[in-house]
Copies of this chain bind each other. A is one copy, B any other.
Amino acid sequence: MSTARVVADLSEDELIASFVQLLPRGTRTVVPTGDDAAVVAAPDGRFCVSTDVLVENRHFRLEWGRGSDVGWRAAAQNLADIAAMGAEATSLVASLVLPPQTPLAWVHDLCRGLAEICRPLGVGVDGGDLSGGTEVVIAVTVHGDLAGRSPVLRSGARPGDVLAHAGTLGRAAAGYALLASGHEDVDEELVAAFLRPVPALEAGPAAADAGATALMDVSDGLLRDAGRIARASGVVLDLDPVGDAVPADLAALAGAAGATGADPVAWVLTGGEDHGMLGTFPPDVPLPAGFRRLGTVRAAGHEAAGRVLLGGQAPGEASTGWDHFRG
């Protein structure tokens, strides 16, 4: 019964052979997966690289949604890191730890999810490794090409710059809250925003081309990630009041907030994993398509460098974003 097969029914070579044809070769792939290493073109003469790991029951649950959602999400968050340098993704590799009883169909579905997000972008799935283990782990490393752009770091924000954001805020957190509380039918779009986020990938190179002084993707929550730009740049970031800045984001969260009793403003400020692009731009630069103003960059002084303010005030205590170890 092929639907009941688990990974322990196959040798490692058979398992690889069963899914390798599901994975796309990229437009930059020179030597595809299957040898000791892949070879990928780096026409810029540099490559960007970022890695992220997803762990069962921490970042996903096998019973929530499909393997393809997990594959999509594992790639999406890495692709966002490449975009946040101002680069375009070219290639990824993925290591999988699979308990012996993992359904083969789930693994194939995971590969389909990787392919669904990568193939339209021309990104190759150019290698991987497999091991047994007690819980599913997916470690993805993704590469990108800057196409001659200067990488946009977190450290370039200057006093007077405008803080702006492309993408959504709080929706993945709201979707997670709906799933965790059994309210997933309240808002399927929010649940999808958690299971299968669509990062603002084009906004990264667009921000670089527009002259962004700093850029990152929001993976751990707006306040926490804004703090990273503020610390790296030695500045203070002052966010506009949330109701003024992102009324559409708040409106999109209203149903989920009602169903779960949560505060939608907290989702906007601390919810991660929407993978929008958070950047700073010189005040005289028109914001590129997709970006909206979120606040301003101020010099450190009265407030210490690295602080993030909300309407000029310190935000409340409960706003530090997700932490894997303090949890």
A247 at the interface (CB under 8 A from B): no
CB contacts (< 8 Å) of A133 on chain B: these are: 55, 58, 135, 137
Q: A306-327: which residues lie under 8 A (CB-CB) from chain B?
A: 323-327
Proximity bits, A124-152, B CB within 8 Å = 1, else 0: 00111111111101010101101000010
Chain B residues in 8 Å Cβ range of A44: 42
- Which of the segments A33-41, A178-186, A205-213, A252-260 contacts the partner chain? A33-41
Interface hit among A46-54, A166-174, A262-270, A296-304: A46-54
Q: Does A239 contact B (CB under 8 A)?
A: no
A48 contacts B53, C-beta separation under 8 Å? no
A285 at the interface (CB under 8 A from B): no
* Cβ-based interface call for A45 (8 A): yes
Cα of A232 to Cα of B34 in the assembled complex, Å:
9
Q: Are B35 and A39 in contact (CB under 8 A)?
A: no
Min Cβ gap A78→B in Å is 9
A81 at interface by CB-CB < 8 Å: yes
A50-B12 contact, Cβ under 8 Å, with A37-B82, A81-B36, A217-B36: no
CB neighbours (8 Å) of A51 from chain B are: 93-95, 127-129, 139, 141
A37 and B49 in contact (CB under 8 A), knowing A323-B11, A325-B15? yes
With both beta carbons as reference points, the residue of chain B lying nearest to A214 in the complex is identified as: B35
* Inter-chain contacts of A84 with B (CB < 8 A): 36-37
Which of B35, B55, B154 is A153 in contact with, Cβ under 8 Å? B35
Q: How far apart sit A153 and B155, CA to CA, in the bound complex (Å)?
A: 41
CB–CB B46/A40 < 8 A: yes
* Known contacts A47-B42, A128-B51: A139-B325 contact under CB 8 Å: no
Q: Does A216 contact B (CB under 8 A)?
A: yes
State in angstroms the CA–CA spacing of A31 and B215 once bound together.
14
- A81, A85, A129: residue with the most chain B Cβ atoms closer than 10 Å: A129
23 of the cross-chain contacts (CB-CB < 8 Å) are A11-B325, A11-B326, A31-B153, A34-B232, A35-B155, A36-B50, A36-B84, A36-B215, A38-B49, A39-B146, A40-B46, A41-B46, A42-B47, A51-B95, A52-B95, A53-B97, A58-B132, A93-B141, A95-B141, A131-B324, A134-B135, A137-B137, A137-B139
Q: Across the A-B interface, give the 3 residue pairs with the lowest CB-CB distance, nearest first.
A: A139-B139, A42-B42, A37-B50
